[in-house]
A and B are shown apart, each in its own frame.
Chain A
Amino acid sequence: MSNEGKTPLVEMRDISIAFGGIKAVDHVTVDLYPGEVVGLLGHNGAGKTTLIKCLSGAYHKDAGEIHVNGERAEINNPRDARDYNIETIYQTLALSDNLDAASNLFLGRELMRNGLVDDAKMEAETRKIMGRLNPNFKKFNDPVSALSGGQRQSVAIARAVYFDAKILIMDEPTAALGPHETQMVADLIQELKAQGIGIFLIDHDIHNVMQLCDRANVMKNGKLVGTVNVNEVTDDDILGMIILGKKPEHLAA
């Protein structure tokens, strides 16, 4: 697939952010086109989560620019990101354990009726989307603390998918899932991609990345090692980039 001539959905240019002395993200540039799945790879602590948190509004970048649909975007908090139709599935899931699935799904965007939150409507909508994403899901009236890891994950995924995301960030979305559920997430990614949604996918499993992604960015120690087209490289090439922190000779050209 060629992106030439198209406007990128998202461009993160020269992003830097430091915590104390640690340069968590150090002059990183990545982009994402409509209908594209772009992987972010790297060891723990490479800066992947920190980078996407600058896009989702959770962190405030120290330097760099973010462009959405070719226009400069000011993203200072999670609400700004939502306004740009950027939805995020966080590695930590970011669920309020004491609330039920529907309250979590609609948190910050409650459905209202006569000025009051309409729990029945929200539960009905949650049942609908869960019926599509995870038909086995039954615990609609329990706090999410009572759910299994996979069920919690599906609540987090449902929350990102429900609100018509244009840009979807998935930070290790299959970390808590078994093989069957992982396959369901893979199918979902294909489906969303077909709808023209752009997806940043952070995943430790190189197989998943090779299967689902069009391009992959590799990070190490906060720096971007390189960006490759997935169909032009092998698993070993990418592993080499992750471990050694440099592009293989035959791609470096």
Chain B
Amino acid sequence: MSDIKDNSAASSDMEPTLTKRSLLDTLEIDVRLLGMLAAFLAIVVIFTIWTGGVFIRPRNIFNITVQTVPVAIMACGMVFVIVMRHIDLSVGSLLATCSAVMAMMQAYWLPSLFGLEYGNPFILILTILIGLTVGTTMGAATGWLVGYQLIPSFIVTLGGLFIWRNVNWFATNGQSVSLRDPNLLMFGGTEGVLGATASYSVGIAASIAAVYVIFASRKNKLSHGFVVKPMWAEGALTAIIVGTIMLFVHWLSLYEIPKGKLRRMFEARGEVVPEGYTAVHGLPISVLILILVAVVMTVVASKTRFGRYIFATGGNPDSADLSGINTRWLTVKVFALMGFLCALAALIAQARLQSHGNDIGMLEELRVIAAAVIGGTALAGGVGTIYGAVLGALIMQSLQSGMAMVGVDTPFQNIVVGLVLITAVWVDIIYRKRMGITK
């Protein structure tokens, strides 16, 4: 018990001379997260001013979030891969192959094999299940070659990049395949939204969950006699989180569905739009999926054995081995998870484009890695966060959308993204040097 007393004594000693660093420490605020949020806010503010307010409009925010989803989902998996000291260069091609398989399933294979009509829910379910299985299996194969055959992941996935890109080509004969099954379109964005009521319900449920998690963790810490954040700080943080969730939901719920589209939607059901009827988009299903993936992956990273072992192995593979962790099998699982997420991203990407094109996911591996790295994942392994990767993807997409809106040419957009990647890592290195953080 004496150590607990010492600890509180130590922290009260420091209080009179609260430096910036120790204030951040007591509030347990991640400086890197703060930096990324600041960068993101700066981008939003700059482009909002530059575009005369168009950037911040619900419609544009809706589009940016929807466009971010596939890269952000894959970036979550890439965090684990990089933390394990590996890399996956094949994710863009893997996405393409999964997309090709799913597109062919819903358009030709399932309807002709089982005589199913387009729109039959079995097409939806089977297509998704098969797509996810294919992605997971391809990822597991990569993991086996890396983990058990000890071929460097750079080589295996560089090979995979060529292989899967062209397996994709063979699966579709190089043709584009449009999504014939109407149900599949719901993962795309505007075609799959929750509307106002459901969106607000999700927002409220998420807020309650956030409050519960924060205070359950506080209670658990207190029950062991640990120092916790001051109550005002905990309250303020909770308020910020709940406020952000609700503002986001509210903003997307301001985005109205255009009149012409409403008319078509009603006509499809053989009805006419009632006088004065309006409807809003609200949360897109694809964004909901991303949020779910990010939450689950965060829990996996910080609260499960699987996640703990990934980080332990990344920090020191020998120590993980000597602690009885089966690092080879762990490698297979991490790459299989990566493959699963590629398939999920494929489902969303093709639904957004409403078709499978040959070049779907092209160069996406580089964006995914960049998102993870901008989000603070260290290529040396052992360090990385899910929220960082998602924010990294969001920052890149906002930058690109913003630049496109103010008329910057695509080549120059890519130059900027490249510069941002380098700058993010550079700033991080300088910060760590100043703070004397070694790893």
Pairing of A with B: yes
> Which A positions have Cβ atoms within 8 angstroms of B?
56-58, 77-79, 82, 88, 90, 92-99, 103-104, 107-108, 110, 112, 115-118, 120-121, 123-124, 127, 130-131, 135, 138, 143, 145-146
Are A96 and B319 in contact (CB-based, < 8 A)?
A: yes
Q: Which residues of the partner chain A approach B323 to less than 8 Å between Cβ atoms?
A: 78, 94, 107-108
Q: Known A110-B305, A138-B10; judge A121-B315 contact (CB<8 A).
A: no
- Can you name 29 A-B pairs with beta carbons within 8 Å? A57-B324, A82-B324, A92-B318, A94-B318, A95-B316, A95-B319, A96-B382, A97-B315, A97-B382, A97-B439, A98-B314, A98-B315, A99-B311, A104-B319, A107-B308, A110-B305, A115-B304, A117-B303, A117-B304, A117-B305, A120-B220, A120-B224, A120-B226, A121-B224, A123-B226, A124-B224, A143-B439, A145-B439, A146-B438
Are B315 and A108 in contact (CB-based, < 8 A)?
A: no
> Residue B2 at the A interface, CB < 8 A?
yes
Q: Encode contact with A along B312-338: 1 for CB under 8 Å, 0 otherwise.
A: 111110111111110000000000000
> Residue B6 at the A interface, CB < 8 A?
yes
Are A131 and B2 in contact (CB-based, < 8 A)?
A: yes
Q: Which residue of A lies closest to B7 (CB)?
A: A138
Q: How near does chain A come to B316, taking the closest CB pair, in angstroms? A: 5
Q: How near does chain B come to A114, taking the closest CB pair, in angstroms? A: 10
Checking B322, B382, B437 against A56 with a beta-carbon cut-off of 8 angstroms, the contacting residue is B322
Q: Known A78-B322, A110-B305, A145-B439; judge A99-B312 contact (CB<8 A).
A: yes
> Residue B259 at the A interface, CB < 8 A?
no
Q: Which residues of the partner chain A approach B105 to less than 8 Å between Cβ atoms?
A: none
Are B305 and A96 in contact (CB-based, < 8 A)?
A: no
Are A96 and B315 in contact (CB-based, < 8 A)?
A: yes
Q: Known A96-B316, A98-B382, A99-B311; judge A88-B3 contact (CB<8 A).
A: no
> Which B positions have Cβ atoms within 8 angstroms of A?
2-4, 6-7, 10, 217, 220-221, 223-226, 299, 303-305, 308-309, 311-316, 318-325, 382-383, 437-439
Checking B224, B305, B315, B325 against A99 with a beta-carbon cut-off of 8 angstroms, the contacting residue is B315
Are A123 and B224 in contact (CB-based, < 8 A)?
A: yes
Q: Which residues of the partner chain B approach A95 to less than 8 Å between Cβ atoms?
A: 316, 319
Checking B10, B312, B318, B438 against A145 with a beta-carbon cut-off of 8 angstroms, the contacting residue is B438
Q: Which residues of the partner chain B approach A108 to less than 8 Å between Cβ atoms?
A: 309, 323-325
Are A107 and B325 in contact (CB-based, < 8 A)?
A: yes
Q: Known A135-B3, A145-B439; judge A77-B324 contact (CB<8 A).
A: yes
Q: Which residues of the partner chain A approach B225 to less than 8 Å between Cβ atoms?
A: 124
Q: Which residues of the partner chain A approach B311 to less than 8 Å between Cβ atoms?
A: 96, 98-99
Instruction: For the complex, give the distance between the alpha carbons of A66 and B224 in Å.
Output: 42
Q: Which residue of A lies closest to B6 (CB)?
A: A138
Are B316 and A58 in contact (CB-based, < 8 A)?
A: no
Instruction: For the complex, give the distance between the alpha carbons of A62 and B439 in Å.
Output: 38
Q: Which residues of the partner chain A approach B7 to less than 8 Å between Cβ atoms?
A: 138
Q: How near does chain B come to A97, taking the closest CB pair, in angstroms? A: 5
Q: How near does chain A come to B317, taking the closest CB pair, in angstroms? A: 9
Q: Which residues of the partner chain B approach A79 to less than 8 Å between Cβ atoms?
A: 324
Given A56-B322, A103-B308, A110-B308, 14 other A-B residues pairs in contact with their CB atoms under 8 A: A58-B322, A78-B322, A94-B319, A97-B315, A97-B316, A98-B439, A107-B325, A116-B299, A116-B303, A117-B305, A117-B308, A120-B224, A138-B3, A143-B315
Instruction: For the complex, give the distance between the alpha carbons of A116 and B298 in Å.
Output: 12
Q: Which residue of A lies closest to B300 (CB)?
A: A116
Checking A57, A107, A124 against B320 with a beta-carbon cut-off of 8 angstroms, the contacting residue is A107
Q: How near does chain B come to A169, taking the closest CB pair, in angstroms? A: 11
Q: Which residues of the partner chain A approach B383 to less than 8 Å between Cβ atoms?
A: 98
Q: How near does chain A come to B437, taking the closest CB pair, in angstroms? A: 8
Q: Which residues of the partner chain B approach A145 to less than 8 Å between Cβ atoms?
A: 438-439
Q: Which residues of the partner chain B approach A57 to less than 8 Å between Cβ atoms?
A: 324
Q: Which residue of A lies closest to B322 (CB)?
A: A94
8 interchain residue pairs of minimum CB distance: A96-B315, A98-B315, A98-B382, A108-B323, A79-B324, A94-B319, A124-B224, A116-B303
Q: How near does chain B come to A52, taking the closest CB pair, in angstroms? A: 12
Are B439 and A130 in contact (CB-based, < 8 A)?
A: no
Instruction: For the complex, give the distance between the alpha carbons of A94 and B316 in Å.
Output: 8
Q: How near does chain A come to B13, taking the closest CB pair, in angstroms? A: 12
Q: Which residues of the partner chain B approach A99 to less than 8 Å between Cβ atoms?
A: 308, 311-312, 315
